[in-house]
Structure 1
């Protein structure tokens, strides 16, 4: 089902260090990076009908062999998830999902190792889809610019089919965006049924209201 668990899988996949960057990893001490948590404004979420499940820390721990030495890299991501119960007439469940993911840039010797910084929105939605098989038939609809954390962020809207609880399939829209704020990359993902009028405005407002750092 499309839920915080599916989107959490994205956060786990956020730190995929490429072989081209491994030359800066020599040394004996572990390299540790942690993002600051991000969330949307609580009042904005409540007014839109979304309830938070809180913020979780998702740790990625990898060991690399470089020049005959092993180097451990630990990166802590944060994910804050919100859900909204929606009644489609034939089906009622928490079909609206909004998640804010913060992942450290992981800078070593002036080089950013977290590839999320170079990912386009198409690559981000592809990463979500690769981690979650319940999201299919993804097609780009349009894109627009939105102000997030003082930056102009490109938000891309996709149409897709999503499988929810009890194997019910629903046509959904998925909105994806990313910004750099300080030492972290912030990724926001919103999912909701296509037949729900006005929900796009709610998702965009949730994105505009993102706070970083937030109180975890």
Structure 2
């Protein structure tokens, strides 16, 4: 699964859908919203065999016609991705798991939260991934459980799916959860091959370890 495709899906949908709510706004300056970075605890990630290249800032910049005037809205999201790889010698490296943490601003104006991601269920979130990412199919809910993330009870939904990796079909599990924390929505997604024993525990532990805001 491509983390960039995932965060682009979530961020663009959030901004485009809320455009209908922006008609009440006027002014010449661009409206800017920025999330704080979110990451997994470095020691937890290392112990689970995951590594990261750091946090990316992904800016969505759109212009809308508001009361006959063009109004620009800028939303800055943050994505931190962790990967677990194994060296297969002559066959190169194989990606055994991906864990991504996405922070997207709530976009709150006059006490109203305009980012629709806040109302999305886990089924809707994984549905966005499925509808935008061509390599993921046959997504079915398997189970649901609660974990503590950022001091809150987060509902984690587990899905079975089929992923296309380098032309091969692989059965995977997908774990999705979301909470609101410090003015941002934090979305955590873990994906790994179904035959990888014990990886569910690693993904849940990574979710429990999420820090926000973090020093990205």
- What TM-score bracket applies, with the shorter chain setting the length? over 0.9
Once residues 135 and 87 of structure 1 are traced to their aligned partners in structure 2, the CA distance between those partners, rounded to angstroms, is 24
Q: TM-score, normalised by structure 2?
A: 0.93
Residue aligning to 1:185: 185
Instruction: Write out per-residue CA displacement over residues 143-165 of structure 1, whole angstroms, 9 at most, x where no aligned residue.
Output: 1111100111110000000111x
Residue aligning to 2:56: 56
Instruction: Write out per-residue CA displacement over residues 183-209 of structure 1, whole angstroms, 9 at most, x where no aligned residue.
Output: 100000000000111100000000000
- Write out aligned runs for 1:80-99 (5 A): 80-86=80-86, 93-99=94-100
Q: How far has the Cα of 1:94 moved from its partner?
A: 1.1
- Secondary structure of 2:17 counterpart: coil
Q: How far has the Cα of 1:3 moved from its partner?
A: 3.2
Q: How far has the Cα of 1:21 moved from its partner?
A: 1.1
Tell me whether 1:210 sits opposite 2:186 in the alignment.
no
Q: How far has the Cα of 1:19 moved from its partner?
A: 4.9
Residue aligning to 1:142: 143
Work out whether residues 146 and 153 of structure 2, in 8 Å CA contact, stay in contact via their aligned partners in 1.
Answer: yes
Where does the alignment leave 5 or more consecutive residues of structure 1 unmatched? none
Work out whether residues 38 and 80 of structure 1, in 8 Å CA contact, stay in contact via their aligned partners in 2.
Answer: yes
- Secondary structure of 1:43 counterpart: helix
Once residues 29 and 17 of structure 1 are traced to their aligned partners in structure 2, the CA distance between those partners, rounded to angstroms, is 21
Q: TM-score, normalised by structure 1?
A: 0.93
Residue aligning to 1:175: 175
Q: Give the number of equivalent residue pairs.
A: 213
Work out whether residues 11 and 77 of structure 1, in 8 Å CA contact, stay in contact via their aligned partners in 2.
Answer: no
More deviation, 22-31/193-202: 22-31
- Secondary structure of 2:96 counterpart: strand
Work out whether residues 122 and 178 of structure 2, in 8 Å CA contact, stay in contact via their aligned partners in 1.
Answer: yes
Work out whether residues 58 and 79 of structure 1, in 8 Å CA contact, stay in contact via their aligned partners in 2.
Answer: yes
Residue aligning to 1:7: 6
Residue aligning to 2:67: 67
Q: How far has the Cα of 1:129 moved from its partner?
A: 1.4
Q: How far has the Cα of 1:87 moved from its partner?
A: 7.5
Residue aligning to 1:100: 101
Root-mean-square deviation (CA), in Å?
A: 1.8
Once residues 92 and 159 of structure 1 are traced to their aligned partners in structure 2, the CA distance between those partners, rounded to angstroms, is 24
Once residues 12 and 117 of structure 1 are traced to their aligned partners in structure 2, the CA distance between those partners, rounded to angstroms, is 12
